[in-house]
Structure 1
Amino acid sequence: MAKTLRDTKDVLVGRAERQMREHFTDSKLTVRQKLALTCRIAFDGGHDSGLAGQISARGQEPGTYYTQRLGLGFDEITEDNLLLVDEDLQVLEGEGMPNPANRFHTWIYRAREDVNCIIHTHSLHTAALSMLEVPLVVSQMDTTPLYDDCAFLKDWPGVPVGNEEGEIISAALGDKRAILLAHHGHLVTGRTVEEACSLAVLIERAARLQLLAMSAGTVRPLPPALAREAHDWTSTDRRNRANFAYYARRALRNHPDCLTNKVEI
């Protein structure tokens, strides 16, 4: 006999949140491992654009972060070939050079103490949408983690290897978790690697949905109150962990060389 059919939505949401806290516990993966897996997840998710794009995560020491070596594609990144760099992009650990465009990551980390991971790619559909100089429109339930949480930079500041571009992009991002960069691509941030990875997967899907919908008619808006409720419900740390674990298991099946040591996910 069912006992919950008369429970309110608040009661059911609270119960689900308690269950997620119980079932989705802390990950055993290191930051290096999470970042390497994120590179493979991005590659499989259509974020590959040759050597373009950077993925980074804060290191243990202030003013340091991990990122990939220039010259390696996302499908070649492992936990062992990641670099640890300082704010001037000087290599502290690892061999090779970082992408000079990583400079604007430094500006974002300095502006946003809450950000511990940054993913910037030129994925196909976000890049295509960026060519239209229109913001990302969130109008479908699955994409609501980005509702009112994706900024838009209409003016292309050029190749982001200078400090000027870092200032412009970090300012345009503001307090949002994501930004669509006109004539460029996208950038997402997260308090955790899991959060940033989940948003990176999602923003590419959202851009693809928007382009498909725009080709068929006029995109209709979501009711704001319900959209904000959905944003908050789908943006929890536990849900990000669950999403990332799924993406990571799938990536490891496709790329077993990504991690040096086997880790239970």
Structure 2
Amino acid sequence: MNAPLRDKSYFDTRATKEMAQHLRSKPRTMQETMAYACRILAMTEQEAGLAGQISVRSERPGAYWTLRFGLGFDEATPDDFIEVDRDLNTLTGAGMPNPATRFHLWVYDARPDVNSIIHTHSPWASALAAARQPLVIAQMDMTPLHNDCAFLGEWPGVPIADQEGVIISEALGSKRAIILAHHGYLTAGKTCEEATYLSVYLERAARMQIRAQAFGPLTPVDDALASEAHDYLLKPSIVNATFSYWARQTHGVPPLPAA
């Protein structure tokens, strides 16, 4: 006799509990996590010279950590991150920040829930940006961005001044990602791991969208199902375990500390 069908919530609750138990991340310093994030972005072919940026909110009010200017993502080590203030003066470490990280300040001011920002000119997301196309959530692996990817239809110019920060932060609103027309994209996460996870999946989603369009118009995933998948795939245990897997694939950064 067949067993009665159990509600999906039963399996969700059970999986969430087991993932919290078995998918525990090994400890890393903030600088090690940022270095791994940079290497993951490079590994996923998201570098564009020195145009990309990464930052993490500092415990010091009005300050953040970022990769010192002049290095590519593939070169980053834990010693290459500097802490800067609101005027981009270096507080900790040696070197200067990318001047274009100024707009990060406006996102941090507007979004107390955001603790890390990634911005790149990755090939596929930049192709959507060049075509001025918002993201269409048409497949399961795109759903971490469902109702969470804004679109800025006009380019405000190189974001080295305050006005660009105002425009970008307002366009982002309460979402965790945004495609910037004629430019690239930004992800804003509760953690550096989450911002990186969203970055990788946004670039994959853009690639999938462009390839799928060759077969005709895209059909968005059902809203309720996409919302369910969004919340499931953004569980911290999944995000952190995925980040750790990607980190193990990178090279040239000190290995993860022992648990």
TM over 0.5: yes
Deviation at 1:262, TM superposition (A): 5.0
RMSD: 1.6
Query: Which amino acid in structure 2 is aligned with residue 174 of structure 1?
Result: G
Aligned partner of 1:71 in structure 2 is 70
- SS for the counterpart of 2:201 is helix
Match of 2:258 among 231, 253, 264: 264
After superposition, residues 89-104 of structure 1 pair within 5 angstroms as 89-104=88-103
Does residue 185 (structure 1) correspond to residue 179 (structure 2)? The answer is: no
- CA contact 2:25–2:244 (8 Å) conserved in 1: no
Aligned-partner Cα distance in 2 for 1:85–1:146: 30
Q: State the partner residue of 1:126.
A: 125
SS of the aligned residue for 2:78 comes to: coil
CA distance in 2: counterparts of 1:204 and 1:244, whole angstroms: 15
TM-score of the two chains, using structure 2 as the length reference: 0.96
**Within 2, Cα distance between the matches of 1:81 and 1:148?**
35
Aligned partners of 1:198 and 1:217: how far apart in 2? 28
Find the counterpart in structure 2 of residue 208 from structure 1: 207
Q: Distance in 1 between matches of 2:27 and 2:222?
A: 39
In the alignment, does 2:254 pair up with 1:232? no
Q: C-alpha offsets along residues 233-265 of structure 1, whole Å, 9 cap, x if unaligned?
A: 1111111111111111111xxx23x23x75137
CA distance in 1 between partners of 2:221 and 2:125 (Å): 21
Which stretch shifts more, 25-34 or 35-44?
25-34
1:109 is paired with a residue whose SS is helix
Q: In the aligned structure 2, how far is the partner of 1:129 from the partner of 1:264?
A: 41
Secondary structure of 1:92 counterpart: strand
Q: Which amino acid aligns with 1:52?
A: A
User: Comparing 62-71 with 143-152, which one deviates more in the overlay?
Assistant: 62-71
Larger mean Cα displacement after TM superposition, 171-180 or 70-79? 70-79
Letter in 2 for 1:263: P
Moved more, 58-67 or 179-188: 58-67
CA-to-partner distance for each residue in 1:54-100, whole Å, 9 max, x for gaps?
A: 00001222222110111111111110011111121110111111100
2:154 aligned with 1:155: yes
| Unaligned segments of structure 1, at least 5 residues | none
Q: Quick check: 2:26–2:256 contact (8 Å CA) kept in 1?
A: no
What secondary structure sits across from 2:79 in the alignment? coil
Report whether the alignment pairs 1:196 with 2:190: no
Q: Summarize the alignment of residues 19-30 of structure 1 with structure 2, pairs less than 5 Å apart.
A: 19-30=18-29
Relative to structure 1, is the Cα distance of residues 234 and 149 closer, same or farther in structure 2, using a 3 angstrom cutoff? same
Give percent identity, aligned residues only. 49
- For residue 31 of structure 1, report the CA deviation from its aligned partner: 1.1
Question: What is the identity, as a one-letter code, of the residue corresponding to 1:78?
Answer: T
- What SS does structure 1 have at the residue aligned with 2:169? helix
Q: Indicate the residue corresponding to 2:242 in structure 1.
A: 243
Query: Residue 96 of structure 1: SS of its match in structure 2?
Result: coil
Q: How far, CA to CA, are the matches of 1:215 and 1:159 in structure 2?
A: 32
**Runs (5+) with no aligned partner, structure 2:** none
Q: Deviations over 1:185-224 (max 9, x none)?
A: 0000110111111000000000000000112211111111
Q: Report the Cα distance in structure 2 between the residues aligned to 1:85 and 1:223, rounded to whole angstroms.
A: 43
Letter in 1 for 2:159: P
The alignment of Structure 1 onto Structure 2 pairs a total of residues equal to: 259
Aligned match of 2:5: 6
Provide the TM-score with structure 1 as the length reference: 0.94
